[in-house]
Amino acid sequence: MTTATTQRVFETAADLLAAIQPATGGREIFDPATGELVGRAPEHTAADLEAAVNAAREAQPGWAALGHEERSAYLNRAADAVEASAEALAELLSREQGKPLNGPNARFEVGACAAWLRATASFELEPEVLVDDDGGRAELHYRPLGVVGAIGPWNWPMMIGVWQLAPALRMGNTVVMKPSSSTPLSVLALVHALNTALPDGVLHVFSGDRTVGNLLVEHPGIAKIMFTGSTAAGKAIIRNSADTVKRLTMELGGNDAGIVLPDADPRAIAQDLFWGAFINTGQTCAALKRLYVHEDIYEDVVTALTETAKAMPMGIGLDENNVLGPLQNKNQFDIVANLVQAAKDSGARIVLGGNPEEGQPGYFYPTTLIADINNDNPLVAEEQFGPALPIVKYSSVDEAIHMANALEVGLGASVWSSDKDKAREVAARIQAGTVWINKHGAVDPRIPFGGAKQSGYGLEFGVEGLKHLGQPHVISY
């Protein structure tokens, strides 16, 4: 197989935009922090999608024939390509998505893309011997599925895109990607950089609205869909994929609970609690979105969190001083504003924030902490996906666990305690795909990740994630 182009370094976001924008036309994309034009995204059609799927199907057998070792070498070269243009990618990401360059944001996300590519290349997946005795031998192998369709979100568009494409490619599949219509430029630029290191035809991206995305889901030439997004959108994909019996990995909405046990040290955990909730300005599926604190230390936790939050600057992403940015779009801003208003109307205590400035450019919602709020308040019961954290008081651990498990979602959760044995006991009772202790949202490429209940199904990351991108194939003799 031949590499599509010569690997090159993109020095600035303008260089990337010049490579991916259509010569004329396209849909305008604006900076959510300033309202300024970032660039123009191509508006691909059903015919473009058909061409991408056909090219991916044509390239797939040759890509699969390379074997794990050579495909892993290509993934490492792709990581090199990301690192070579890292600053330009981070600049474009900051301008389109809104997240600041610094903190766990744009530069962090681009670095995670390279790290995930390298980690995925390093995993070993050998055939599993199931039976080997006098009666015979049986082995479990994993074969490529074919073409994988990857549909990504707008909150971590580059990183989650790599979470999808890296294991799919490693397992011998080819990939057709559909980025969110809110952040297409970031993914188009990422794929352009990757394709300077990958063989021609194995990775494709098309930009379009939900209608074109549905065509990808329904396409008979797509063997599997990987989707990260809301539970409502995930349900639609499940329905629309049924006629072709596609394999699915669905990482859907979460409303992650955190339980602070009475023996926790409020000041020791305050910063980790803050970033667990407010990473990417709260726009993260597995962020801490409702915090349950024992009554004995409730006010101390509220005070420590408030002091921490006040020290975190929010503003335009290209300003090197900021670590929090705007909400990515007007719809999400309105969701957060309406939920906080409902909390105010209910009599909850606004400890910090809650009053966005009017007449200012950008979708900035201030860092907001809400105390003395009931568990059935909409801000607690619904996923806010923004910088507003409700803090609920509880009296017994059983009560906290009951409240944490009451919703029909279960992506992640966390337990905070000075006694890890106690924390593990509580963690074992929480209904979530992952429960962290004294941290929240700390994903690792080696550790499988997936949701419980209506937060989805299927696993990503590690060897188990690779298996979900393969067709199990038993050979028995």
Catalytic residues: 251, 285
* SS3 category, 370: strand
Rounded Cα–Cα distance for residues 142 and 145 (Å): 9
The whole-angstrom distance between residue 2's C-alpha and the CA centroid of its chain comes to 31
The whole-angstrom distance between residue 205's C-alpha and the CA centroid of its chain comes to 18
Compute φ and ψ for 414, nearest 5 degrees.
Answer: -150, 155
Q: End-to-end alpha-carbon separation of the chain, Å?
A: 34
CB-CB neighbours of 210 under 10 Å: 13
Maximum CA pair distance of the chain?
79
The structure tokens 């408030």 sit at 306
In 385-421, which positions are buried (b, 16+ CB within 10 angstroms) versus exposed (e)? bbbbbbbbbbeebeebbebbbebebbbbbbbbbeeee
Q: Which amino acid is at 288?
A: L
Tokens found for residue 408: 């029909």
Rounded Cα–Cα distance for residues 31 and 39 (Å): 9
Strand partners, 220: none
Strand partners, 391: 291
Rounded Cα–Cα distance for residues 73 and 65 (Å): 14
- Regarding beta strands 128-133 and 456-457, do their DSSP bridges make them parallel or antiparallel, or are they unpaired? unpaired
How many helical (H) and strand (E) elements, i.e. helices and strands, does the chain have?
A: 16, 20
CB 251 within 8 A of CB 288: no
